[in-house]
A and B are shown apart, each in its own frame.
Chain A
Amino acid sequence: MATQHSRSAARFMISPAVILLLGWMLVPLIMTLYFSFLDYRPLRGIFDCCVGLENYSRFMGSSSFWDSVTTTLSMVGGILAITLVLGVLLSLLLDQPIWGQGIVRILVIAPFFVMPTVSALVWKNMFMNPVNGLLAYLWKFMGLQPIDWLSEMPLFSIIVIVSWQWLPFATLILLTAIQSLDSEQIEAAEMDGAGSLSRFVYIIMPHLARAITVVILIQTIFLLSIFAEIFVTTGGAFGTRTLTYLIYQRIIESQNIGLGSAGGIFAVILANILAIFLMRIVGKNLDA
């Protein structure tokens, strides 16, 4: 198969796809880069060329910028922590032979198929509403004052909503990892006198390390661009303005395309720094 001829034929055949993908990626990136050096405010009819780095200094100079970076990082970090801890526990549970295993597994995966906007609205109106929400009823049932989740603890609420969506993903990856653990290793540990906690710490967790790094990597990439959940719940208010959301506000609400583009370029750089950092960790873990 892999003759010189077939290889060049293969290259020729995949070139349309590669060119399309490159164009798809490069054109918006270059346009963003280009806009970030302009003073471009379409509603006011301003289109001034070449303001240099002014957009960048203004975007990063504003106090909301650093707030948004911290919000982004704590949101991503919180979601990662919740999905990983619950994901490990849930996958351990799902690995046990239980009655109706197939159905339970499908149910666990289900949240992943719900659109982010829909799930955020469902949470907002059905669970977290301070008057009619299920949680409000629960609080009242326990004799407590219902909490207005989205205004009293907005960041935490969004973390919960997004964690709910991403938990199935983490669980699924971790479950397949647990299932690939050689049962003889567990039995050997059992004979060696390891109790269930020791088995978890010394055998299962190290085995899961790779899967966990993969989950962290993939989730981080996707979570950096959370938007819909914030848009339909708090609208970026109450300290839930992430970097993505700040850029959106700059472009759509302030109608300042140059400023927003500068933020976009910064977001790309931030994502890449994180990705390189994570890839290093994953690479190290995958080598072992």
Chain B
Amino acid sequence: MGSITLRKVSKSFGATQVIPPLDLEINDGEFVVFVGPSGCGKSTLLRLIAGLEDVSSGMIEIDGADATLTPPAKRGLAMVFQSYALYPHMSVRRNIAFPLKMAGVDAKVAEEKVTAAASVLNLTDYLERKPGQLSGGQRQRVAIGRAIVREPKAFLFDEPLSNLDAALRVNMRLEISELHQDLATTMIYVTHDQVEAMTMADKIVVLRAGYIEQVGSPLELYNNPANRFVAGFIGSPKMNFIEGESAARHKAHAIGIRPEHCALSAEKVAGAWEGTVEVAEHLGSDTFFHIETADKGVLTVRAIGEFGLRHGDKCWITPDESRIHRFDEDGKTIG
């Protein structure tokens, strides 16, 4: 069990309201990702759920029971911190066993659970080491181990991978996803990396300045963003936004087209947008072109594989008409 419901939850620090009243439903077993730019209140929201901060108003329900005033230890949630927050003077074994010890679990049972968690997380060889003698990825796993042994109703992760290098991050991302498959426990995961959000989530919650901009599955958000902010935030590289005459032709204040939904041609194509290549970024599998146009600003276009265009070359862009998103003055999507 692990369903969490927020009802009109808000949070203010002094006079500044960081989270305006918001409602959110997290179902049992779901992998929910909070994304948003830095300072938008993701950590604050997670800490409210964890009970590390008191809500200013509203109600938090866990498994249908009001948990607004329940202290963190009693909520049955486990948190993995960005800094891992391992206890530096305890061995890995004692770190993982700490929540069990606090819960008064029998030493033998605790030992079995620690051993089981360690083997799941490949930590068996490191059990006697101190956290200071571990690599970043191993510390991360210890932090996760400490969370697993409690068999919580839900896991809370606050940017757990942001201190790792790119390769390790991809690895750990997979491991966490696998863990979710195995445990089928609710997980709430905070990140500002939209790739992590897209790859891991069942449900993404996009936040901006404390407001929920949109909630949905990764593909829903990708295909049908509710507004310009979500459209720009989800997807990499970023969606191109074009205002002015081309937008007016689509009866919108602005239109958006993703780099992967544009066809590029080195020869003149009727009705295509003309431009000059500024920069070509070669990734091997793809090439991203930044193309200067006369009336639409700089557009990003993705071409598959190598594409023989270089700086200064003329080119023509044909957008996929069915993939054009239209936005009104307020940035809302026009349906």
Please report A residues at the B interface, Cβ cutoff 8 Å: 182, 184-185, 187-195, 198, 202-203, 206-207, 209, 288
Contacts and interface: CB of A to CB of B under 8 A. Distances in A.
A282 to B, nearest CB: 16
Nearest to B152: A191
B79 interface: yes
Interface of B: 50-52, 71-73, 77-79, 81-83, 85-90, 98-99, 102-103, 130, 146, 150
Contacts of B87: 185, 188-189, 202-203, 206
The B interface is mostly helix, strand or loop, or mixed, namely loop
A191 B89 contact: no
A-B pairs with lowest CB-CB distance, top 6: A188-B85, A192-B99, A184-B85, A193-B102, A193-B73, A206-B89
Given A184-B83, A191-B79, A192-B98, 20 more contacts: A182-B85, A185-B85, A185-B86, A187-B72, A187-B85, A188-B79, A189-B98, A190-B71, A190-B72, A191-B51, A192-B102, A192-B150, A193-B103, A194-B73, A194-B102, A198-B102, A202-B90, A206-B90, A209-B89, A288-B130
B50 A191 contact: yes
Interface centre among B79, B90, B102, B146, by most chain A C-beta atoms within 10 angstroms, is: B102
Given A191-B50, A192-B99, A192-B102, A184 B81 contact: yes
Nearest to A194: B102
A190 B79 CA distance: 10
Contacts of B52: 187, 190-191
Interface centre among A182, A187, A188, A207, by most chain B C-beta atoms within 10 angstroms, is: A188
A195 B72 CA distance: 11
Contacts of A198: 102
Contacts of B73: 190-195
A15 to B, nearest CB: 40
Contacts of A193: 73, 99, 102-103
Contacts of B72: 187, 190-191
Contacts of A190: 52, 71-73
B77 A191 contact: yes
A185 B73 CA distance: 14
18 contacts: A184-B82, A184-B83, A187-B85, A188-B87, A189-B87, A191-B78, A192-B73, A192-B99, A192-B146, A192-B150, A193-B99, A194-B73, A198-B102, A202-B87, A203-B87, A206-B90, A288-B89, A288-B130
Contacts of A203: 87
B211 to A, nearest CB: 26
